[in-house]
Structures are given as structure tokens and as C-alpha cells.
Structure 1
Amino acid sequence: MKLSVLSLLAITTAVSAWLPHERNLFGEQPNSVASYLPAGRGRAVKRFTSGYNKIRGVNLGSLFIIEPWMASQEWDSMGCGGTKSEFDCMIKLGQDAGDAAFQKHWGSYIGEQDLDTIKAYGLNTIRVPVGYWMVEDTVWRDSEHFPKGGLAYLDQLVGWAADRNIYVILDLHGAPAAQEPNQPFTGQYAPTAGFFVSWQYDRAYKFLQAMTQRIHTNSAYRTTGMLEVLNEPERNHPDLITSYYATAYAKIRETESQLNVAQGQQLTIQFMDKGWGAGNPVDVIGSKPSVAYDDHRYLKWDTSIEHTKASYIKTSCSDTFGDGGNTPLIVGEWSLSVKDDLERTPDFDPSVQSNKAFYTQWWAAQVSAYEKQLGWVFWSWKTQLGDDWRWSYKQAVEAGIVPKDPNQAAQLAKC
């Protein structure tokens, strides 16, 4: 049985965690009804658009883990210029000054107006990348340097989302000791990926269990339904699947059992899919309930295709997902960016008027493909890349590249 949004929000004794279509969270949004079909005796049944109850969202990149490449002005204004990651900036600034700088950033980079605009642009989901240091007692204070106080700002953000019926995916983007080398998205520009040992896994489990507890006991998280156990791990670590993924699932469910959470209210636990190349989670998760998968689709780094406009459109139109039993699946990151050495060539330069129709069609082709599964989350909501809107959904809408109504994708894709 599906609950109405009003009925859902009336539940105050327990915080529900689920896939949104299982609670009809999004409901009948503007333009979600395609037509009314006659059913005899003056009755009619509704036929919904193909995007009805699909996840359509944006990542809030560089909010809780700042990536200098995409937020350089913010980075410099905080006093972090010349450093590669949050870890490095905290060493430069010191704990007290660093805490103040990051708390100012958390309190201003994304506000309630952003959530209103996200809704106005036909979106219903935010994916929030966070680091393990959000749970502060997981940090080794004698050797690790991260800002404090982020959890209060996360509480505020998810509360704003809940007030607007926006679904929230929390993503462990930065793991202990880093799951990828030389990547600021881990929060530390580490020369090697040190995550893949048991004692680092233990710290990640502690983070996951603390966040599970908070989601189920803090009403601000009432539309937070998904917890991703790890973003973009380095490949070729077999025990990522056999040890970390299997135990992460068990630890989250253990916490929910201790809280007496009913199965219908359990978190959906998300894993990077087989296509990422770090193993197939199904090998250990099997058919366990309340699981979803995450595929990141950036054609700019796909070496198997031609990097032409025609090839990008053709590839996106024919894309399929869910290999290896990885369903339901969300394409949790994608963009409109093209191969690095082509970005400012005449064929792809976003400032060239004649290229804009291509980017609109390519956006639509990607949306159409990703909605064959559960939906999509664009990377990212906002950036500081000047006139290049290819990584910013907000700027792409403002530039007239992306329509305010995502339901137009099917028509615009021309697949």
C-alpha cells in the first residue's frame, strides 16, 4: 500500500527510510500526468509520464567535501589556496581557524534558497557526499586533520530537504585513509589508497552505524532513505566485496535491529555497481532486501567510444545498466563534460551558440537512458567554473541548456 505525502509526514514516532517510490514520496508533481484514459461509466484512469516517481537529483558537491578544482573561489576565500585537500588546508590553518573557515563555508555555500530552486527545476533528490570525519570520534586526532562541527550543518540541510519532500542519499565519499590516491574528493590528497585494511574498515563501520542511528532517531532525516557505503573505491581489492561490503551491510542492519526498525522502514543500502570495476556486490549481498546500486557514467573518460557529438548521443541513447544483477540502480554521477582535450575546441566550446543544441540533446539522451532504471543524480548542483555550465545543473538551467521540466527529456533526446 502506498502512503500519501501527508500521511507520511504525519508519522512522528518513527523515521521511515526507503526508496521513494515505495512511499509515493514524490506524488503527482507538475507534468507527471501524461493523460487521462477513459475507463467507462464516465471514469478515467491516469497515465503517468515515464519519469513518474523516478529519482531526479543533483549532488551537493563541495559542500561537506570541497574539491578545489570546482570551487576555487570558495577555496581561496577560506584561506586554503595552494593546498590540495581539506586535510592539507587544516594543517595550514590550524584546528581553530580551520574549524571557523569550514563552518562559515557550511553555513553559506548551500542555503534554503538552493533547495527551493532545486524543487522549482523539477528535481526531487539530493545526494550529499560526506567524509567519515563527520562522525568526529572516528578521527585519529594525533595524525589526522579535519574540520569539526559538520554534523549540525548536515542536520540542518536534511531538515530543509525533508520540509520540501526532497529525498536524500547520504554518501560516504571520503573513507578513512582514502579509498583512491591523489583525489581531493576523499578529503585527503593521499599518495596511496590506505583504506583497504581491516582497521580502516572498522572506522568506516563506526561511521555507518552512527549515521544509521542518527537517521532513525532524528526527525530531520525523515526523507533520508539511502546510505551509500563507499564512493568510487580503487579497483583490485578483492576483500572490498568479501569483507567490507558484506560487513557494512550487516553492521547497518545490526544497528537497525537494535533500534527495532521494521523491515519496511530500513535504510536502502547502496553499493557501487559491477560496472565500476571493483567487484560485484551481488556476490555477497545476493537477494538481501533494501539494496540499491550506483553507476557513475562519465563518457568523457570512456576510452571505448569515439569522442564526437554523434557518438556521445548514440552512446547515451543506447545505454543500458544493471549488469550482474545490479538492480535497482541509480546513475549517481554524470555530467555534460566532454573529453579534456576537446573541452574548448570549436565543436564543444560551451560559449559557442551553435553547440548549445547538442548539449541540450545530450542531456536529454542521458536522462532518458538513466530513467530506464531508478533515475539519476547529476554532478553537481553548483560550481565555480566561470561560463562552463557542463558540471553545474543550476548554471545549465540558467543558460537555457537544461529545461526546468525534466519531462521534456523524452522529446528532446530524439533517440
Structure 2
Amino acid sequence: MLFLNKPALILLGILATGIHAWLPDGIRDANQFNQSIHDAPGNSTFSKRNLPGFDKIRGVNLGSLFVFEPWMASGQWNNMGCGPYKSEFDCVVGIGQDRADAVFQQHYSTWITQADIARIKSYGLNTIRIPLGYWLFEPIIYWDSEHFPHGHVAFPYLEQICEWAAQAGLYVIIDLHAAPGAQQANQPFTGQYAPNAGFYKPWQYDRAYQMLSWITEVIHRWPAFRTVGMLEILNEPSQDPSVTTGLLDQYYPGAYAAIRAREAKIGIGGDQSLHVQVMNTLWGSGNPETFLTDKQFMAYDDHRYAKWDSSVAVNKNAYIADACRNNRFSNWPTIVGEFSLSVPDNVQWNGDWHPDSNKDFYNRWFAAQIIRYERDTNGWIFWSWKTQLGDYRWSYQEAVAAGVIPSNAASINRGACDGF
């Protein structure tokens, strides 16, 4: 593993935006940092602007890597000393900054390894989505009131994951999964179990713009990020319009402008521009295109969990029918960035739904979802690659091991929707 020693911070002035981008010491000297991605090895088949050069995106999320969701991996969470706490914020407060940095560094170094990336590739997948928290960019953190693992501890592992992905020929989507102040209340995927969604304020938007601007330059200038082609500016905003003040008319246009301004500053344009991704209209936070005056190289994210959709009857035929018939066509181009094989909590361990005795159903349901997603959208990304739930319905690698998902993603049962 590269860069295991804890690096110091170096502040580099970025005059055009009036902010500073930091680099962990020892990772890149100035000449390396300024190297064009055109000079990076293994980049010949990828274009930043274009979706990757294959028919459909087929991928997995690296959930709970850089934004830990305790429900997914309670064993790991407990071993880190975080067991009593609901979120990363709470754990850092509880165990202290130094200890938190050490245990999270151990987590980053072991949760996803190069062997995982190789296996993802071997299963016929071509994409990974990497959720990040805003605290990766330390200059925007209020350290007296915001408590997270230090970004300089996590960054070398993000770089290493992206390098492994590039070597494997995997396309990478980076996702601002956790926004300043939390974009939803009481959700550990925001990094804090906040009682209110505090993101929807102009000054919080400004902090997000700074983080997105910084990671844009990293993506373009650091060779390890050479197959990162898409940057999602906000995962799963609140669906309550009384909460999301300024989301459509301020944040989305502002985030898009911040990314394009940073690209212009460093001389990036044309077919090297990033796709900028937002949740699509089907998510329920409004049509993201409403106030976008420039939609060049936009992309959209659709999350589909029948588990939480009360309009779908809780029986197997209804689940297959929903997967086969539910039109996911919305803003274009869309990718179904999250879905799973999980069913409602109150039935998931009953005999008719138990994963051990219903593998044929889950195999067909997976195939039915894939058929629809590949028909209506540019592809799909399963949540997640890995869990500690002992339940393959949330874990792609465990579902393959169980024979529920084929070991070649292109080899699903194409007749799964016959009769529906």
C-alpha cells in the first residue's frame, strides 16, 4: 500500500477562486501535480466528457469506505471503537481525534483492497462509484464544531483506489455523498446523525462549491484519477420542498459553474470536461434542469429501492412486475446509481422472502431490474460491493458467491421479464 505514513499538510494557493487546495506531503511534487492526464498511462480508451467506451455502465458502489454507514458493517464499526455511536461525527467526538484518525486509517487500508478491484473487474463490471464526505477537503471544516477523520488521512487511499481502478480499466464516478450541514436529517450517510437538514443555506452551498472545485482539479491533474469521468454534486437531497430552499435555483447552477470555472482555470475543455451528475426528477426533489442554463455534459442519478416503495405490493409477482414495467426514463443521460435486492424489513426474514430459500426469486428479480435499467438508462450501479450483514441482498460479491448474481454481469437471465 502506498503512502502509509501520516502526511503533513501543504497549502497551495489557488488564486482564481480565492481558496486553498491542500496536498499530503510526499504524494506529488509540483511537476507531477501539473502533469496533464493526457500523459498518464492507460488513458487512451477514456474520455472525461464521454461516458465510457462500452455499451452500458455496470458497476458497484464502494459503500462505507470513505463515508461509513454503521448499519452496513457493525463488526468493523465496533472493532474501531465506534460501536456506541451513530455516525462518523459522533464517533470522532466520542473517541477523540487522534484515535479516530488511526482507526479510520486502518479501515481505509483494509475495507477495499486491490484484490477487491480485481474481482470487480473479473465479474464483468466496468464502473465503481466512490461516495465521499465533504470533510475530505480540510480547509472548509470548522474544527471547533465539526468532527470528522482528517481528510489528509483518507486522501492517499482515495488516490490508491483510483489508481487500482485505472489499472484495471474501470470507469470511476466520484460522489459528494455527504454535504456540509447534512442534506437529510438522521441519516448516517451524511457523516453525522443531524436532527435537521442544515445544508440548504447559501454559506453551506459555498463550502460545497469549494470542495467540488478542489476535487475537480485533483481529478484532472493527478494521474491516478485518469479514469474518473463523472462528479456527482449531491447524493439524495431531501424530498421535502419546505426544507430544500435554493437547491434547484442556487445550488445546482452554482455547483455546475464552480466545476466548469475550475476546469477553465486549468485549461480543461472539450472532450475532457467532466460529466456533472445530479439526482434525476424521479428522485422527488424537483426537476434538476429547471434552472440550469447550461446543461452541457450533465448526467443524472436514479436510485430505485422497491423496499421502501409503498406502491409496490409485497409479493414476488409484484416485485418482478415492478422491475419489468417501472419506467425509469427521466432526464438524460441517467444511471441507476443505487439499487439492491432487499425487501421490506417486516418480511425480509420470513420464509417466502428468506435469502437462503428463495435464491431463484432473487436471481430473477436482479435480472428483471437490470433488463429495465439497461433499457431505460445508461446503466446501473449496485449498492453495495461489500457489507458485513450476512445478507447477499445488499452485497454484490456475496450475491455472486451465492449464485444469485452471475459471475459475468452480461450473462443475466434475459428472459426474466417474460410474461410481465
Within 5 A, what are the aligned runs for 1:99-110? Answer: 99-110=101-112
Determine the C-alpha separation between the residues in 1 that align with 2:147 and 2:125: 35
Shift of 1:411: 2.2
Measured in 1, the distance between the counterparts of 2:209 and 2:302 equals: 22
Change in Cα spacing, 1:86 to 1:158, as seen in structure 2 (3 Å) is same
Pairwise CA distance, 1:7: 11
What is the CA-CA distance between 1:408 and the residue it aligns to?
A: 2.3
Change in 2 beyond 3 A, CA 1:69/1:225? same
Do the aligned residues in 1 keep the contact of 2:162 with 2:224 (CA within 8 Å)? yes
Work out the CA distance in 1 between the residues paired with 2:311 and 2:304: 13
The equivalent residue for 2:355 is 350
Taking the TM superposition and a 5 Å limit, the aligned residue runs for 1:73-222 are 73-148=75-150, 149-222=153-226
Compute the displacement of 1:331 (Å).
0.3
Contact conserved, 2:49 with 2:270, CA < 8 A, in 1? no
- 2:7 is matched with which residue? none
1:332 and 2:334 matched: no
Please list the CA deviations of residues 40-95 of structure 1 after superposition, one character each: whole Å capped at 9, or x if unmatched.
Answer: xxxxxxxxxxxxx2100000000001111111010001110110000000011111
Contact 2:364–2:413 under 8 Å retained in 1:
no
4+ residue runs of structure 1 moved beyond 6 angstroms?
none
| CA pair 348-286 structure 1, distance change in 2 beyond 3 A | farther
Alignment-derived partner of residue 370 in structure 1:
373
State the 1:391 CA deviation. Answer: 0.2
Percent identity over the alignment is 51
Which residue among 240, 246, 250 is the counterpart of 2:253?
246
Name stretches of at least 5 consecutive residues in structure 2 with no aligned partner.
1-37
Is 1:392 equivalent to 2:395 in the alignment? yes
Matching residue of 1:19: 50
Aligned residue number for residue 69 of structure 1 = 71
Q: Tell me, what secondary structure is at the counterpart of 1:232?
A: coil
**CA distance in 2 between partners of 1:411 and 1:209 (Å):** 42
Secondary structure in 2 aligned to 1:371? helix
Match of 1:173, SS? strand
Residue 309 of structure 2: aligned partner: 302
Shift of 1:394: 0.4
Measured after TM superposition, the shift of residue 289 of structure 1 is 1.1
Residues 172 and 58 of structure 1, relative CA distance in 2, 3 Å threshold: same
Structure 1 portions without partners, runs of 5+: 1-5, 27-52
2:302 and 2:169 mapped to 1: Cα distance? 24
Contact (CA 8 Å) 2:320, 2:417: kept in 1 or not?
no
2:404 aligned with 1:401: yes
- Within the candidate set 275, 280, 292, 1:273 is matched to 280
Q: Secondary structure of 1:270's partner?
A: strand
Deviations 1:299-331 (A, max 9, x none): 0111112111000001101122233xx010000
Cα deviation for residue 10 of structure 1 reads 5.6
Q: Residues 142-183 of structure 1: CA distance to partner in whole angstroms, max 9, x if unpaired?
A: 111000111111011101100111010000001001000000
Calculate the TM-score normalised by the size of structure 2.
Answer: 0.86
Give the AA of the match of 1:411: R
Is the Cα–Cα contact under 8 Å of residues 213 and 255 in structure 1 kept in the other structure? yes
Looking at structure 1, the residues matched to 134 and 362 of structure 2 have their Cα atoms a distance apart, in angstroms, of 36
The two structures have a TM-score, normalised by structure 1, of 0.87
Q: 1:318 to 1:198 in 2, by over 3 A?
A: same
Q: Does the aligned pair in 2 maintain the 1:360–1:412 contact within 8 Å? A: no
Q: Distance in 2 between matches of 1:239 and 1:224?
A: 28
Residue 13 of structure 2 corresponds to none
Query: Does the CA-based 8 Å contact 2:59-2:126 persist in structure 1?
Result: yes
Give the drift of 1:207. 0.5
Q: CA deviation at 1:279?
A: 1.1
Q: Which residue of 2 aligns with 1:58?
A: 60
Pair 303,81 (structure 1): closer, same or farther in 2 beyond 3 Å:
same
SS in 2 for 1:108: helix
Residues 201 and 245, structure 2, Cα contact 8 Å, conserved in 1: no
Query: Counterpart of 1:288?
Result: 295
Q: Check the 8 A contact 2:347/2:353 in 1, yes or no.
A: yes
- Secondary structure of the equivalent of 2:161? helix
1-side partners of 2:113 and 2:216: how far apart? 24
Q: Which residue of 2 aligns with 1:31?
A: none
Distance in 2 between residues matched to 1:398 and 1:243, nearest whole Å: 45
Among 377, 381, 386, which residue is 1:382 paired with? 386
Contact 1:238 1:279 in 2 (8 A): no
